[in-house]
Amino acid sequence: MRYSRQIALDKIGKKNQEKLSKKTITILGLGAIGSVTAELLARSGINLILIDHDKIDITNLQRQLLYTEKDINQYKVNIASKKLKEINSTIKIKTHKKCLTNKNLKILNSDLILDCSDNLETRFLINKYSLKTKIPWIHTAALKTRTVLYNFIQNKNNTRPCFNCLYKKNSEFETCEDSGILNTVTTLIATLQATQALKALLNYKYEDKLLRINIWDNSIEKLTVKKDKNCKTCTMDVKTKKIEVGKFTLKLCKTKSAYSVKPFRNVRLNLNEIKDMYEPIIETPLLLIVKIKKYEVIVHNYGELIFKDLKNEAMIKKIAKDIYTLADSSKLKQKIKQKH
């Protein structure tokens, strides 16, 4: 029997093996960590969704164990899917040969998401989707001889931090291309990630601390990470929750070419939530330009709205009310649920 050695393990057994066969894990990034994690999980009997837009390069072969010289210049998702199917033809594998963007987050939909990517922006996107859908994810990263792992698996009280609590969007990191990387460290963290994935799927107690390892000097640290009370991604601002919808000022701008709307109270709008609800045209850290119906609206994170091409005050008030309503957490959840 294919899984006899795994079933013999008291942590797994026949019932848990059956559970695993019905689970699907999304692996984002099929490089040094992702290719090893994917192979381990495929051999464990778990269905996979593979996401990567890169081709295999000769420099990858030093640490990306699933590929060989004959695979160079071919897409990683194609080669990975082919080889994993040869390893285990009984599992289902779906592939996406694309970058993760704000518009295609639904391709992450699964029982668990594994971050094997190499950039912060992708991880912020995973974080946003996870918070919205409540799908857990496991973050890994490696550089030189060091690696980290953290399980973003929320508890019932919603007290665990999100990715934005750990890192800020303006954080800067070295790259493997610049600083190098040891292949043993990526293989190590891939096996740890795969193990945490099994524990998460089977509802075992997972590692709740940030795991930091330096394989060169054999140092292992477990760090407690606390939720950032001021995090604008996973924690609603108290003032924002208390906005009284409808209480705002509307006036014609000095140029008389646009209307300005400002709430009476000090407000910090979550731009990520706004762009999830409306079509974004331009995005910056401080403001958004979104398309609502056929009108363009400038949304400042401090609460001001600018309507450039809409003169109907009743319509302006309605749109403004809808936007400020998003600040109410319960109504936001209802709107997202209806949208999906």
Yes or no: say if 185 and 142 are a contact pair by the CB < 8 Å rule: yes
**pLDDT for the residue 237:** 34
Which helix (H) or strand (E) segment holds residue 177: the answer is helix 176-179
Q: Assign 176 to helix, strand or coil.
A: helix
Do both 211 and 244 map to the same domain? Answer: no
**pLDDT for the residue 340:** 45
Do both 264 and 324 map to the same domain? Answer: yes
Yes or no: say if 197 and 25 are a contact pair by the CB < 8 Å rule: yes
Q: How far apart are CA 207 and CA 201, in angstroms?
A: 13
Q: How far apart are CA 52 and CA 325, in angstroms?
A: 37
Do both 264 and 165 map to the same domain? Answer: no
**pLDDT for the residue 242:** 32
**pLDDT for the residue 300:** 87
> Is residue 183 in a domain?
yes
Q: Which of 223, 251, 277 is the last residue of a domain?
A: 223
> Is residue 229 in a domain?
no
Do both 210 and 273 map to the same domain? Answer: no
- In the numeric block, which tokens belong to residue 46? 């778990």
> Is residue 228 in a domain?
no
Q: How far apart are CA 249 and CA 262, in angstroms?
A: 5
Evaluated on CA atoms 207, 136, 65, 85, the torsion sign reads positive
How far lies 281's CA from each of 77, 82, 87, 233, 312, in Å? Answer: 31, 38, 44, 21, 22
Do both 181 and 242 map to the same domain? Answer: no
**pLDDT for the residue 144:** 92
Q: Are strands 112-115 and 93-96 parallel, antiparallel or unpaired?
A: unpaired
Q: Are strands 295-300 and 305-307 parallel, antiparallel or unpaired?
A: antiparallel
In the chain, pLDDT over 90 holds for what percent of residues? 56
Yes or no: say if 39 and 195 are a contact pair by the CB < 8 Å rule: no
pLDDT in tens, the chain (340 residues): 899 999 999 999 999 999 999 999 999 999 999 999 999 999 999 999 999 999 999 999 999 999 999 999 999 999 999 999 999 999 999 999 999 998 899 999 999 999 999 888 899 999 999 988 889 999 999 999 999 999 999 876 678 899 998 887 655 555 566 678 999 999 999 999 999 999 999 999 999 999 999 999 999 999 999 888 888 788 643 333 333 334 677 777 766 678 888 876 666 788 887 877 788 888 888 888 988 878 889 998 888 889 877 888 888 888 888 787 665 443 444 444 454 4
Do both 127 and 33 map to the same domain? Answer: yes
Do both 212 and 242 map to the same domain? Answer: no
Which residue bears the tokens 């963007």?
101
Do both 255 and 200 map to the same domain? Answer: no
How far lies 146's CA from each of 37, 54, 172, 176, 339, in Å? Answer: 18, 24, 16, 11, 41
Do both 54 and 194 map to the same domain? Answer: yes
Do both 61 and 145 map to the same domain? Answer: yes
- Looking at residue 215, which CATH number applies to its domain? 3.40.50.720
Residue 251 pairs with which residues in a beta bridge?
260
**pLDDT for the residue 172:** 53
Domains held by the chain: number: 2
Q: What one-letter code names the amino acid at 270?
A: N
Do both 11 and 81 map to the same domain? Answer: yes
**pLDDT for the residue 178:** 65
Going by C-alpha positions, the residue among 176, 195, 146, 169 that lies closest to residue 62 is 176
**pLDDT for the residue 256:** 65
Do both 152 and 61 map to the same domain? Answer: yes
User: Which residue range forms the structural domain that includes residue 295?
Assistant: 238-339
